Every structure is written in C-alpha cells, then in structure tokens.
Amino acid sequence: MHLGERRSNISGAFDYSGPSLAGQTVGVLDDVVTTGATANECARVLRDHGARRVIVFAYARANYNPATPNAPVFD
C-alpha cells in the first residue's frame, strides 16, 4: 500500500471523546511507525480537540519503501 493509500485508509479511523485538550501537550505511543499515517491521523484528531502539541513516541521505526509497500525494511 502506498503512502497516499495508507493516509486515505486511516482517515477518520480515530475519535476523541475525553475532557478538553485545550492548550495541552499530548503524548501518543505507537508500536511501529512505518509511513507515519497512523501517528499523523491521531495527532490531527487530538489537535482538532484542542491539543496545542502532540508528541509521538514509538518503539520502532521502519523504513518505508514504496517499491515494496508490503515488505518494509527495518533498520
């Protein structure tokens, strides 16, 4: 799956229904970041609900290779 497809696929997948995030810095924990689409969508939703800043923490980062989109190469 190419980056544009991944972004389209994940769009609208998350929602936030907690207390106001107005002016807050929020941390998101992800297991593996490949394209960044999931982290970006989570951050977008949190910012839409008032978060001033979103910091993403991940256990691993995969190199995304669009030539082989189903087989990321790990560092």
The residue among 14, 26, 74 whose CA lies nearest residue 50 is 26
**Any idea which of 28-32, 54-58, 62-66 has the lowest mean pLDDT?**
62-66
Question: What pLDDT score does 36 carry?
Answer: 84
Question: What pLDDT score does 29 carry?
Answer: 93
**Any idea which of 3-7, 25-29, 41-45, 52-56 has the lowest mean pLDDT?**
3-7
pTM value is: 0.74
Rg (CA), the chain: 14
Stretch 13-26: mean pLDDT, rounded? 94
User: Exposed, middle or buried: residue 67 (CB in 10 Å: 0-12, 13-18, 19+)?
Assistant: exposed
Question: What pLDDT score does 71 carry?
Answer: 54
